[in-house]
Structure 1
């Protein structure tokens, strides 16, 4: 099973840059997109409903902001919109989950905090605290999970180019690094790409907007249940095409739906 995840910086722009032509050549079973910046009614066109896929969208309700999508060749048994945090903070980001027989696949967009905006920073901290509790709870279920998305945070120094120039920036603050490490070290989830690729120069996001200009970050991850770690067959960040400031993450798993 091949899963591709990509944060698109606006789905219409990505489509104009050839995203759907490229996807048609990738033979993916599931495609998870984030940061659509479009309402679902604006995607009622064949371009956004590629042949052979079921298409599901979860927009923000606010024009030109966030939103996620999942394309799948296999019809899911159920759809889940949002994490359902009691605090309501899950609406600061976006999450759409498809449930299959024993596997759930989610498309996830984390909230960002603009520099100097203390309210957004507090909301982001609260969001990830709620998410950590949620991930701990579901780890006890007899179900495997693959969370694909733009996590807006880097875990280690190897995930940020020239990391020393970005300490205390949003996405690389000490408490954010700690949170990402706890996800892997204490909650026993697995960074699928890092399981098969330990190279230090693999980056998926360029804040400058252009791949290779400025410093790259690796914030686009497929986080998987521990039971799936031995089913990873291949992982790559595709550098041949640029559809946004992010690059596609391609993972192959020995899983049948």
Structure 2
């Protein structure tokens, strides 16, 4: 079973750049999508996949989806609704879903289109798509004139940390719920955190940047372990530099491979052991990029 996670940075923009050509060529069984950034009426039809999509309520932002071969056996979102379409369908009707019980502190994020999960009908697996807040720097690291954004006193940083503290409980709850039903759990998405030095090209310089702060990496490490979740790509490739999955749009960043790996497959250990390949589907040149992210794919030996 070939499974992908892909932050498309706007499905309509990615479609114009060749998303559907990539989808037809790779032909993955499951795709977790982030930053779809489209209302239901603007989401394109997917000819060979079912779509489950939570667009959220922030116009032009966020939105997470999951593509599957078969109609999902169950759908769960934080909002309690989702767009569920069969292959080729274009309807805009939302359906009620199971509501993922919010861990304390997640209520403020529940309608932002950041998390959705489905139970696959053709495998004992629960798949989740996550778009974690980008965040910002804590107040003591904010230096006017050395930041792309105006200093905010640490407001974005504090908001991200609230999300992290709450989502840790949510992820543990989701993993346990899946396993109670005899299912493995696969959490995929844009975590906006690079796990380790191997995952950032200029990691020393990045150590005081959002997405690579010690407390962010410590939180991500807390999700993982021999009885929790496994970073599948790193388990497959070992401690080597890269591969990266995100590069700035700044000229030369992609060509120099000055990237970060922030798009992850975190799997329950039993599922992770079935992985036979894991890779970043990096485009051959900057002018052929589909997004500022590249798809990350894992092939699992599931019947």
Do these two structures clear the TM 0.5 threshold for a shared fold by scoring above it?
Answer: yes
Q: Which residue of 2 aligns with 1:190?
A: 230
Q: Which residue of 2 aligns with 1:8?
A: 8
CA contact (8 A) 1:159 1:200 kept: yes
Q: Which residue of 1 aligns with 2:86?
A: none
User: What is the RMSD computed on CA atoms of the aligned residues?
Assistant: 1.9
Matches within 5 A, 1:103-114: 103-114=125-136
Structure 2 residue 185 is the aligned partner of structure 1 residue 165: no
Structure 2 residue 282 is the aligned partner of structure 1 residue 236: no
Matches within 5 A, 1:211-250: 211-213=254-256, 215-240=258-283, 242-250=289-297
Q: Which residue of 1 aligns with 2:247?
A: 206
SS in 2 for 1:246: coil
Q: Which residue of 2 aligns with 1:251?
A: 298
Aligned equivalent of 1:52, options 45, 48, 51? 48
Shift of 1:178: 0.6
SS in 2 for 1:185: coil
Shift of 1:36: 1.2
Q: Deviations over 1:6-26 (max 9, x none)?
A: 111111110000011110111
User: 2: distance between equivalents of 1:39 and 1:85?
Assistant: 27
TM-score by length of 2: 0.78
Runs of 4+ in 1 over 4 A off after TM superposition: none
Q: Which residue of 2 aligns with 1:30?
A: 30
CA contact (8 A) 1:208 1:214 kept: no
CA contact (8 A) 1:11 1:38 kept: yes
Structure 2 residue 103 is the aligned partner of structure 1 residue 85: yes
Structure 1 gaps of 5+ residues are: none
Shift of 1:65: 0.5
User: 2: distance between equivalents of 1:132 and 1:251?
Assistant: 23
SS in 1 for 2:193: coil
Aligned residue-pair number = 252
Q: Which residue of 1 aligns with 2:185?
A: 145
31-40 or 212-221: bigger deviation: 212-221
Structure 2 gaps of 5+ residues are: 79-99, 138-150
Q: Which residue of 2 aligns with 1:132?
A: 168
